[in-house]
Structure 1
Amino acid sequence: MTETFSAWLREQCEPEWTAVVTHPFATAITTGEADMRRYLEQDFQFVDSFTALLGAAVACADTFEARVPYGQFLGQVATTEEKTYFHRALAALGGSTQAATEPVTAEFRQLMDEVRASQDYPSVAAVLCVAEWSYLGWASRAVEPLPEGFVHREWIGLHEGPEFRAWVDFLRGELDRLGPGLGEAGRRRVLEVFGRAVELERRFFDMALG
Structure 2
Amino acid sequence: MSQRFSQELLETNRETWEQAINHRFVTELFEGSVDDEVMAGYLDQDYRFFEAFLQLLGAAITTADRLEARLRYASFAGEMANSEDTYFQRAFEALGVSDELRAATPDTPSAAGFCDLMREAAASQNYSAVVAVLMVTECLYRDWAAKAPQNRPESFIYHEWITLHDNADFLDFATFLEQEADRSGAQDAQTAHDYFRRAVELELAFFNDTYTYPLNGIHA
TM-score (norm 2): 0.90
SS in 1 for 2:151: coil
CA distance in 2, matches of 1:179, 1:64: 18
Offset at 1:95? 1.9
- Following superposition, the deviation at residue 200 of structure 1 comes to 0.1
Counterpart Cα distance in 1 of 2:75 and 2:168: 16
Aligned residues: 205
- Aligned match of 1:192: 194
Aligned to 2:40: 37
TM-aligned CA deviation for residue 209 of structure 1: 2.5
Q: Distance in 2 between matches of 1:69 and 1:128?
A: 13
Matched, 1:160 2:158: no
Asked if structure 2 preserves the Cα contact closer than 8 Å seen for 1:31 and 1:142, the reply is no
Match of 2:178? 172
- RMSD, aligned CA: 1.2
Alignment of 1:38-187 (within 5 A): 38-78=41-81, 80-96=82-98, 97-98=102-103, 99-180=105-186, 182=187, 186-187=188-189
* Contact residue 56 and residue 119 of structure 1 kept, 8 A: yes
Residue 15 of structure 1 corresponds to 15
Query: Alpha-carbon deviation of 1:101?
Result: 1.1
4+ residue runs over 4 A deviation: none
1:39 Cα deviation (Å)? 0.3
Cα deviation code 1:120-153 (max 9, x no counterpart): 0111011011000000111111111111001001
